[in-house]
């Protein structure tokens, strides 16, 4: 177990280091200097050079790279190119609201997936099963910005029961969490169904039936617990993906999270900000994935992922 933990930690370190390195060099590979992006391509050359010197872009690239690494290791993501504000404090504020959205959407997804998945498996082959399958395929095929826009139009414009945008407490959380959660549940409910059906074919389920246990008890306590094991991985990946930026959902609902911060950077051509966001999103994503990996080894020692 200890060896496995050490291995996962080492891989984690390697991946994060690589991501930071890749982002740094991609950023430096962009045609044109950051000065062109911020001051505009027509700005006088002297002004551009002065700006580059002030922002430390005139030093050798190796030195910039080492400083970038050191900064990130200390949680310092540099400054915004546009107005020179430090990026790190903004990241932590935005991270909180992204986490809020992610956790709520995850909860919605989990509830929906369990309800839809279990009832589809129990009623396998019936009309209900087909309707759920159709629904999930529809949700998988409809882009989040389409369903999100539809939800906004219905609830915020047509019926005016929920706020259209912003970050005004619980009420503005409902629609984005529902939209994102339903999209994810479309996928997981299918997995719950498939996994539960597999388990229901096992001998111990037949034994439980033969013993005369009530059906509900067989499904919920005998079958579901085993059926959920393979689903756990997917759920974990989903949570990691959620925390790693539901960029489009945040944009549709103007949710002030990391995703919208990154898009702010995109629109202002502020590559420092974009890189910082990408690095943080990737960081959260791999850390959560690693935690899930560890948890899974604890829960079910049979699964040895490579």
Interface residues with other proteins (CB under 8 A)? 11, 14-16, 18-19, 22-23, 26-27, 29-30, 120, 124-125, 129-130, 133-134, 137-138, 140-146, 149, 153, 157, 190, 194, 240-241, 243-245, 247-248, 251, 262-263, 266-267, 271, 274, 278, 281-282, 285-286, 289, 306
Provide, rounded to whole angstroms, the least separation between the CB of residue 152 and other proteins.
Answer: 8
For 65, residues 6+ apart whose C-beta sits below 8 A from its C-beta are 21, 24, 25
- Asked whether the beta carbons of 91 and 261 are under 8 A apart, the reply is yes
CB atoms closer than 10 angstroms to residue 26: 12
d(CA 257, CA 100): 9
Provide, rounded to whole angstroms, the least separation between the CB of residue 157 and other proteins.
Answer: 6
Which is closer to other proteins, CB of 184 or CB of 224? 184
Which is closer to other proteins, CB of 131 or CB of 215? 131
Provide, rounded to whole angstroms, the least separation between the CB of residue 66 and other proteins.
Answer: 20
Which is closer to other proteins, CB of 218 or CB of 258? 258
d(CA 256, CA 82): 19
d(CA 195, CA 225): 11
d(CA 53, CA 246): 36
In angstroms, the Cα distances linking 252 to 33, 158, 241 are 32, 17, 18
Which is closer to other proteins, CB of 26 or CB of 53? 26
Q: Which residues pair with 86 in a beta bridge?
A: 79
Provide, rounded to whole angstroms, the least separation between the CB of residue 98 and other proteins.
Answer: 11
Which is closer to other proteins, CB of 188 or CB of 289? 289
d(CA 229, CA 58): 54
Which is closer to other proteins, CB of 110 or CB of 277? 277
Give the tokens for residue 52. Answer: 């580059």
Give the tokens for residue 53. Answer: 């010197």
- Judged by DSSP in three states, 79 sits in strand
Provide, rounded to whole angstroms, the least separation between the CB of residue 227 and other proteins.
Answer: 16
- Judged by DSSP in three states, 270 sits in coil
Which 8-state DSSP code applies to residue 245? Answer: -
Provide, rounded to whole angstroms, the least separation between the CB of residue 263 and other proteins.
Answer: 6
Give the tokens for residue 252. Answer: 């549709």
Provide, rounded to whole angstroms, the least separation between the CB of residue 212 and other proteins.
Answer: 29
Which is closer to other proteins, CB of 93 or CB of 150? 150
């Amino acid at each position: 177990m200890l060896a496995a933990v050490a291995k996962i930690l080492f891989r984690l370190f390697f991946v994060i280091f690589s991501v930071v390195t890749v982002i740094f060099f991609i950023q430096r590979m962009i045609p044109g200097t950051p000065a062109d992006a911020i001051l505009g391509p027509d700005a006088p050359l002297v002004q551009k050079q002065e700006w580059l010197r002030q922002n430390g872009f005139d030093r050798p690239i190796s030195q910039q790279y080492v400083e970038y690494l050191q900064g990130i290791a200390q949680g310092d993501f540099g400054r915004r190119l546009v107005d020179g504000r430090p990026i790190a404090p903004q990241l932590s504020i935005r991270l909180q609201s992204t986490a809020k959205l992610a956790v709520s959407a995850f909860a919605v997804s989990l509830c929906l997936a369990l309800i839809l998945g279990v009832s589809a498996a129990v009623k396998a082959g019936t009309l209900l099963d087909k309707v759920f399958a159709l629904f999930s395929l529809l949700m998988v095929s409809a882009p989040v910005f389409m369903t999100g826009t539809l939800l906004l139009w219905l609830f915020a414009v047509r019926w005016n029961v929920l706020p259209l945008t912003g970050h005004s407490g619980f009420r503005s959380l409902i629609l984005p969490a529902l939209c994102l959660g339903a999209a994810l549940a479309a996928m997981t409910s299918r997995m719950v169904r498939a996994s539960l059906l597999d388990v229901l074919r096992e001998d111990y389920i037949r034994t439980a039936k033969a013993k005369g246990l009530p059906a509900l008890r067989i499904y919920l306590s005998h079958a579901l617990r085993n059926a959920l094991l393979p689903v756990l991985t997917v759920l974990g990946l989903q949570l990691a993906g959620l925390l790693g930026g539901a960029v489009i959902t945040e944009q549709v609902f103007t949710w002030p999270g990391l995703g919208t911060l990154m898009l702010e950077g995109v629109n202002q051509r502020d590559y420092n900000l974009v890189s910082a966001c990408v690095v943080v999103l990737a960081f959260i994503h791999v850390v959560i994935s690693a935690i899930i990996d560890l948890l899974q080894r604890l829960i079910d020692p049979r699964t040895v992922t490579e």
